[in-house]
Amino acid sequence: MKRLSWAFLFLAINVVELKTNPKIVVVGAGMAGIGAATRLLELGFTDVTLLEASGEIGGRIGKAQMGKTWVDTGAQYIHGVVENNPVYCLAKKHGLFENVPKEEGSWSILTDKGRKVDEDFAEHVYKAGELLLHQQSDDCDNNTMGDYFAEQAQKLADNWEDDAENRNLISSVLRKLGKDLLITTGALDLKNVSLCSWQHFSNEIKGDMDIGGNMFLLPSKLLEEFPKENVLLKKLVSKIEWDGSFGVPDGTTYPVRVCLGDGEEILADHVVVTISLGCLKAQASSLFSPPLPEYKVKAINSLEFGSVIKIILEYEEPFWESDVSKISLLWEEENILTVKDDPSQWLQYLDFFTVMRPQEKFGNVLIGWCSGRVADHIDNMTEEELSAAVTEHFRAFTRNSSLPAPRKVLRSQWHSNPFTRGTYTYIPVGTDPEEMDRLALPLSSSKATKPDPQVLFAGEGTVKSLYGTVQGALVSGRREAQRLAQHYLKATAPPATCPFAL
Ligand SMILES: Cc1cc2nc3c(=O)[nH]c(=O)nc-3n(C[C@H](O)[C@H](O)[C@H](O)COP(=O)(O)OP(=O)(O)OC[C@H]3O[C@@H](n4cnc5c(N)ncnc54)[C@H](O)[C@@H]3O)c2cc1C
């Protein structure tokens, strides 16, 4: 009898601790928030609310109208063209490859001396440089990506068996690779970036697929089955109070109170925070009460959030050949040993453009990419200044003084956007990639005797194997949904149609 009452008491405690239908709030409707919210529903949670500060879902998958259609202002490449990349799989499932040209198109490369560089030659040098960079030294802790790049690129250029004339071009192509790395990381200087950055990175990231003009469709496709009334736009979360006991008139209490900028409050059992590292850096000290523990503050401070800008140009007529898919501009006498941006020489960093294809869909649209302080410099220019400078730039490289100005110029402004404050996370020199794991750890109540995840964290910057990517964001949200399912001892989940391993 006594044994029975203990068993009953144990069950009663668990019933009190584990509500049958917990209230879950997800902050941010980017891919991490969408991944969390949709997975929670799949796992049988029904009281899930998705709060988004801006007027749109998608976060850093943004869109803008240009020419005949829409273009992506944020992510546009699928990194990892393999079936077990969930983003590749989902994009395919939702028909996002329709209209995407099957052939890659050609690469047009022009130099400041008016030369046209042979595509096969440039591709060969570029690939050799990439290969060397990926064979990183074991001593990555004590090395910067900038130093390693300079050392390897110089060695490659010196040992290239070719005539002196081409040696300059080899250095220029390799330097372009260095500048592309600045865009990949969003950093100001490759010497700030840890060589250990890709130590844990997924081997699945092989091959890139440009689905420009279609990526922005993915967030809404994934939310198709999610109740519309539970997606609340223009709801800026201004405070997250946790480890509390907030009551409602029917006597139910909740440990979390989410306060919105408009004065509204939402009580919850759990909150999944998916705002960018840039937003956490700016707001973490005022957003959480009680404040975040020291290890979490250290993770936020020690990781970096880079900046990249996309400049979208629409022309009346193309000045490039019809089969061109990317345009690069090379400087023949640039120093290969330092790859850091310089706003006073900003046009030297506006050296890469993707051509939006097919032309029947987009018209004549180019997208230019720049990183770091150059991105911030461009962010502050007027459209007229930018249009005039870009026109002069192209005229100089094409030696065509009557090359027309674009009829429309747009910029993505992720750095000045208060809901992103930059573009993606990178690992600076001296920072352990495992800080990303610490950023991902949930916060439990100080009174809890066993883990009681009240505040959970997702977002691209919380995944050391996939940070800076759409799939990183997506799987991080699903990871936190899974964490809650484990907490509530939920039965096995319905099979996912696409793989979601980290
Ligand atoms: C220019 C650019 C190009 C990129 N290119 C690629 C690419 O080609 N391929 C690729 O895989 N990845 C790319 N990325 C990276 C990819 O877009 C991101 O890794 C991913 O979209 C991040 O998703 P997330 O959910 O972690 O964050 P976010 O998308 O930033 O989502 C967070 C959401 O939280 C909202 N929010 C912020 N503060 C609050 C608040 N206080 N209250 C409520 N809501 C709030 C924001 O509005 C946002 O919607 C690119 C990113 C940029 C910016």
Residue 244's CATH number: 3.50.50.60
pLDDT (tens digit per residue) in 168-182: 889 899 999 999 999
Extract the tokens encoding 438: 């610490």
468 lies in the same domain as 327: no
117 lies in the same domain as 197: yes
Is the shortest distance between the CB of 62 and ligand 1 below 6 Å?
Answer: no
Neighbours of 23 (CB within 10 A): 20
Tally the C-alpha atoms within 13 A of residue 241's C-alpha that lie toward its C-beta.
Answer: 11
Place of tokens 């979601």: 500
Residue 138 banded pLDDT, cuts 50, 70, 90: low
Give the DSSP H or E segment for 106. Answer: strand 106-111
Residue 224 pLDDT exceeds 60: yes
Residue 300 lies in a domain: yes
Is 282 buried (19+), middle (13-18) or exposed (0-12) by CB count in 10 A? Answer: middle
Is the shortest distance between the CB of 179 and ligand 1 below 6 Å?
Answer: no
Is the shortest distance between the CB of 278 and ligand 1 below 6 Å?
Answer: no
Pocket test for ligand 1, best of 208, 273, 275 (most atoms within 8 A of CB): 275
Residue 3 banded pLDDT, cuts 50, 70, 90: very low
Residue 323 pLDDT exceeds 90: yes
Percent with pLDDT over 70 in the chain: 93
Task: Spell out the SS3 assignment of 11-59.
Answer: HHHHHHHCCCCCCEEEECCCHHHHHHHHHHHHCCCCCEEEECCCCCCCC
Determine the average pLDDT of the residues in 301-319: 96
Is the shortest distance between the CB of 61 and ligand 1 below 6 Å?
Answer: yes
Residue 127 lies in a domain: yes
β-bridge partners, 456? 272
- More confident of the two residues 257 and 187: 257
Show which of 411, 441, 464 is a domain's final residue: 411
Cα 30 to averaged position of ligand 1 atoms, centre (Å): 6
pLDDT (tens digit per residue) in 185-213: 989 889 999 998 888 888 777 889 999 89
Assign residue 366 the CATH number of its domain. Answer: 3.90.660.20
Q: What is the pLDDT of residue 82?
A: 92
Residue 366 lies in a domain: yes
Spatial neighbors of 15 by CB under 8 A, at least 6 apart, are: none
292 lies in the same domain as 248: yes
Determine if the peptide bond prior to 442 is cis (ω within 30°): no
Residue 100 lies in a domain: yes
Q: What is the pLDDT of residue 163?
A: 66
**453-457/270-273 β-pairing:** parallel
Q: What is the pLDDT of residue 474?
A: 97
CA distances from 196 to 111, 241, 276 (A): 33, 36, 22
192 lies in the same domain as 132: yes
Show which of 347, 376, 411 is a domain's final residue: 411
Residue 342 pLDDT exceeds 60: yes
Is the shortest distance between the CB of 30 and ligand 1 below 6 Å?
Answer: yes
175 lies in the same domain as 128: yes
Residue 356 CA to residue 1 CA, distance in Å, equals 75
Tally of structural domains, the chain = 2
Residue 499 lies in a domain: no
Is the shortest distance between the CB of 29 and ligand 1 below 6 Å?
Answer: yes
Nearest alpha-carbon partner for 457 in 19, 21, 33: 33
Pocket test for ligand 1, best of 51, 183, 424 (most atoms within 8 A of CB): 424
DSSP character at residue 61: S
Nearest alpha-carbon partner for 231 in 53, 73, 91: 53
84 lies in the same domain as 157: yes
Print the domain residue range for 14: 2-59+216-304+421-487
Ligand 1 atom closest to the Cα of residue 474 is 25
Ligand 1 atom closest to the Cα of residue 412 is 1
Residue 502 pLDDT exceeds 60: no
Residue 442 CA to residue 463 CA, distance in Å, equals 14
CA 421 to chain centre: 12
pLDDT (tens digit per residue) in 460-498: 999 999 999 999 999 999 999 999 999 998 876 666 788
Residue 10 pLDDT exceeds 70: no
205 lies in the same domain as 333: yes
Residue 492 lies in a domain: no
Residue 451 lies in a domain: yes
200 lies in the same domain as 331: yes
Alpha helices in 186-340 (DSSP H): 217-222, 277-287, 294-302
Residue 355 CA to residue 162 CA, distance in Å, equals 31
Q: Pick the residue whose CA is nearest to atom 10 on ligand 1.
A: 469
Extract the tokens encoding 237: 């979360």
Ligand 1 atom closest to the Cα of residue 369 is 1
Q: What is the pLDDT of residue 6?
A: 47
Is the shortest distance between the CB of 460 and ligand 1 below 6 Å?
Answer: yes
Cα 296 to averaged position of ligand 1 atoms, centre (Å): 20
79 lies in the same domain as 206: yes
Place of tokens 């936020």: 300
Alpha helices in 94-232 (DSSP H): 119-134, 145-159, 164-185, 217-222
Mean pLDDT (the chain) is 90
Cα 194 to averaged position of ligand 1 atoms, centre (Å): 22
Is the shortest distance between the CB of 276 and ligand 1 below 6 Å?
Answer: yes
99 lies in the same domain as 232: no
Residue 135 lies in a domain: yes
320 lies in the same domain as 183: yes
Q: What is the pLDDT of residue 135?
A: 73
438 lies in the same domain as 322: no
Determine the average pLDDT of the residues in 261-277: 97
Is the shortest distance between the CB of 467 and ligand 1 below 6 Å?
Answer: no
Q: Pick the residue whose CA is nearest to atom 33 on ligand 1.
A: 28
Is the shortest distance between the CB of 287 and ligand 1 below 6 Å?
Answer: no
Show which of 354, 384, 411 is a domain's final residue: 411
Q: Torsions phi, psi of 125, nearest 5?
A: -65, -45
Q: What is the pLDDT of residue 167?
A: 79
Is the shortest distance between the CB of 277 and ligand 1 below 6 Å?
Answer: no
